[in-house]
Chains A and B, each alone.
Chain A
Amino acid sequence: MDSSAEVVALVGVGILLTALYLQSESFVDPLIRAIALQSLLLGVLLGWLAWTEHSVDLAILAALAVAVRVLFIPYVLRRQIRAFRWRVRELHAAHRVTGHALAAVVLAIVAWFVFQETLASIFPEPGAALPFILLVEGLLMLATRSNTIVQVIGYLEEENAVVYAGALFAQAFPLFVEVVVFLDVLGVVLVGVILSIQRDVIGTPEESALEELAG
């Protein structure tokens, strides 16, 4: 394995570990930090690939990952936490995280086998299954969590999976940068607009705490 492939594999394992960690945490602030770390690792990977392959598109994707998913969205989410302390932890999450973590590991293994059986023939690169696993983990998070901020984190993980996949094996994908910009715009709409509307319309923590306060 050459040094470039080693870097890609090493960072890929880091991304996978953050994905598994995300499933096993019930406090929201560490989750925000973890998704920022995952996005940073992805940004490093994209930056490395941009450097080694002299790709402007990948450099733009790396900058976007850092600007939007490492800095901006986590900043807005953490402000939400500071403003509404009741959002700091998920309802009933404490006793569910063990199940989530176990499900995440099982799902990662199943996703890896499915990838090997169906897609490995056209994606022979080492670590090509990792974006697929990341996508499935993001879906698991969206499906099993009820806290709105945690759901945003699930969405960001899915976006990371798509960018990761595009960078690894579909760099010539037309309009890929534009597509990622679009996904980021949607992420910003999610956290910047709807979360703030939720605060304005639903109102006080007492009202909203109906579902999220306990735990």
Chain B
Amino acid sequence: MIAIDPSVWLFLLLVAPSAAAILSLVPNARVSEGVARAGSLIAFAASVAVLVVNASGVWGPYLGLDSLSDVFLFMVTGVYAASIWYSRGYLRSVSRPFLTPQVYYGLLSAFAFAMIFVLVVTDLGLMWIGVEATTVASALLIVLERKPASVEAAWRYTLIASAGLTIALFALLLLYTATGTLDGVRLAASPPAVTLPIEMAVALALVGYGTKVGLFPMHTWLPDAHSEAPSPVSAMFSGVLLPTALYAFLRVYRILPTPVPALVSNLVLAFGVVTALVAAFLLQRQRSFKRLLAYSSMEVMGLAVIGIALGGVALYGALILLVAHAFAKSAAFYCAGNVLRTTRTTRIDEVRDLRTSLPWTGAAWIGSAAAVTGAPPFGTFLGELLIVVGALAAGLVWVAGVVVVAVLVAFLGVNSQIGRMVFGEAVPGSSAVPREPDSGYALAYVNLAVAVAIGVATLPYLSEALRAAAVFLGGALP
């Protein structure tokens, strides 16, 4: 058997989406779609190969892979491929699109490329450029449906995310001045002595990248952008953009020695706790099902940040939670897209009896609602359970209590609302029974299956990579 050097997979991971972004601009829309689909599949296949060969190492001064990036690459390319394949039917349903299909596919691939770039570079400055590039590539995607609200959402997203990233850049300036390098590998291998400027840099990175993660109180762009973007783009926002920004923070956080100084870990914990609680309670009052899902993503990011702050087994739980949530939440947004395409509304109280009108989508939506809120046997359940166990192991009973409360409140809020939409009596006067829109729901089932497989640890290479990533970050295994 011929052993292929991992750099080949790394090359494909970078070239496939960037080539798709450029070649998608061909005049023919069908060719553009085909190019984007091929590019996304090649990228996904390369990420699977990276997992299988357990690729790690550094190539040149700026590129590198390790178990953490391998896991995130699988997640990003998986959701990217699913969103590209889901897009065809969705684009057909948009009456006056602001972007041509070619530009849409080009920007979606450029968006994916920017995230992959963040995951494969070792230099923290380049990583920052990658995170900023995700904003540039994705801002216009939000206005696809040409609604005033979507323009306002794009505006808020660009402005708030960029303001946050400026703070992250300031953090990098501090870090560079204090250490003389931005090489993430070097900094992680020989962490600098913990001084006040270093702690300040990590704290500013938390605020800066945290803006893009959707941490309270910098989260205000998140529900607007997620709810106004077309569903395949929302799936990428919720499923993988937020974790990618968190990944960038993790790389800065990792330069601190283990155990992390209390000042910084307590700050991270505080942001996580407040975000999870605020999001769990805010989602109760949502009238739009897409905003409901957006706040659910914010709650999950809060829980993941709690896991990162706690370290140990909770950190392992946070990684499982992020990956399982990415697939589960993208499934939920594909279902939301199907509902929106057929009912032409995002209002929860205007949608009922989906079990009759959209049986396949309705069933997938019930499943994805359970998945994103941490029901067994999905991976999100395992992740959240490990975070609670980690909090108890650390003697922080109150944190375990907060996690349980946030999870329960979010579970009740999301599942009761979506349950009413699926099982509730039909709205009086709505005589027309919508038709199941093509087979877009099939992708939701595929992604839900991945979320279950993560929960029962049956994806061998991914499970091993997740364990390795947790150890790599200084966490512990159960």
Contacts and interface: CB of A to CB of B under 8 A. Distances in A.
Contacts of A152: 159
Contacts of A155: 159, 162-163, 166
A207 B150 CA distance: 15
B174 A201 contact: no
Chain B interface size, as a band, is 35 or more
B63 interface: no
A118 B196 contact: yes
Interface stretch (A35-43, A77-85, A171-179): A171-179
A114 to B, nearest CB: 9
B143 A173 contact: no
B197 A170 contact: no
Contacts of A110: none
A98 interface: no
A161 interface: yes
Contact of A165 (B123, B132, B133, B170): B170
B140 A182 contact: no
A interface secondary structure, majority: helix
Given A155-B162, A175-B129, A186-B136, A148 B176 contact: no
B167 interface: yes
B151 interface: yes
A123 interface: yes
A154 interface: yes
A189 B136 contact: yes
B177 interface: yes
A197 B136 contact: no
Contact of A201 (B98, B126, B160, B178): B98
B200 interface: yes
Contacts of B155: 148, 194, 198
A110 to B, nearest CB: 15
B169 interface: yes
Nearest to B198: A122
B275 interface: no
Interface in A158-215: 158-159, 161-162, 165-166, 169-170, 172-175, 178-179, 182-183, 185-186, 189-190, 193-194, 197-198, 201-203, 207
B81 interface: no
A201 B147 contact: yes
B135 interface: yes
A122 B177 contact: yes
A50 interface: no
Nearest to A114: B200
A148 B125 CA distance: 29
B132 A119 contact: no
A135 interface: yes
B interface secondary structure, majority: helix
Nearest to A115: B200
Most buried by A among B123, B155, B178, B182: B155
B139 interface: yes
A152 B174 CA distance: 25
Given A151-B159, A155-B162, A161-B166, A174 B125 contact: yes
A49 to B, nearest CB: 16
Given A162-B169, A166-B173, A185-B136, A154 B163 contact: yes
Nearest to B133: A182
Contacts of A172: 176
B146 interface: yes
Nearest to A185: B136
Contacts of A201: 98, 143, 146-148, 150-151
B248 to A, nearest CB: 14
B334 interface: no
Contacts of A3: none
Contacts of B140: 193
B135 A179 contact: no
B244 interface: no
A52 interface: no
B143 A122 contact: no
Contacts of A162: 166, 169-170, 173
B128 interface: yes
A151 B172 CA distance: 24
A135 B166 contact: yes
A173 B150 CA distance: 37
Contacts of B160: 142
Nearest to B166: A158
Nearest to B196: A118
A121 B126 CA distance: 27
A190 B128 contact: no
A139 interface: yes
Interface in B101-146: 123, 125-126, 128-129, 132-133, 135-136, 139-140, 143, 146
Interface in B141-196: 143, 146-148, 150-152, 154-155, 158-160, 162-163, 166-167, 169-170, 172-174, 176-178, 182, 195-196
B173 to A, nearest CB: 5
Contacts of B150: 201
Contact of B159 (A161, A179, A183, A190): A190
Contact of B200 (A118, A185, A190): A118
B170 A182 contact: no
Contacts of B136: 185-186, 189
A121 B197 CA distance: 8
Given A197-B98, A197-B143, A202 B148 contact: yes
Nearest to A119: B197
A193 B143 CA distance: 11
Interface in B180-237: 182, 195-197, 200
Contact of B125 (A119, A123, A158, A179): A179
20 contacts: A118-B197, A118-B200, A119-B197, A121-B196, A122-B177, A138-B166, A155-B162, A155-B166, A162-B166, A170-B173, A173-B173, A173-B176, A174-B176, A179-B125, A179-B128, A182-B133, A186-B158, A189-B158, A197-B154, A201-B146
* 3 smallest beta-carbon distances between A and B, as pairs: A158-B166, A170-B173, A202-B148
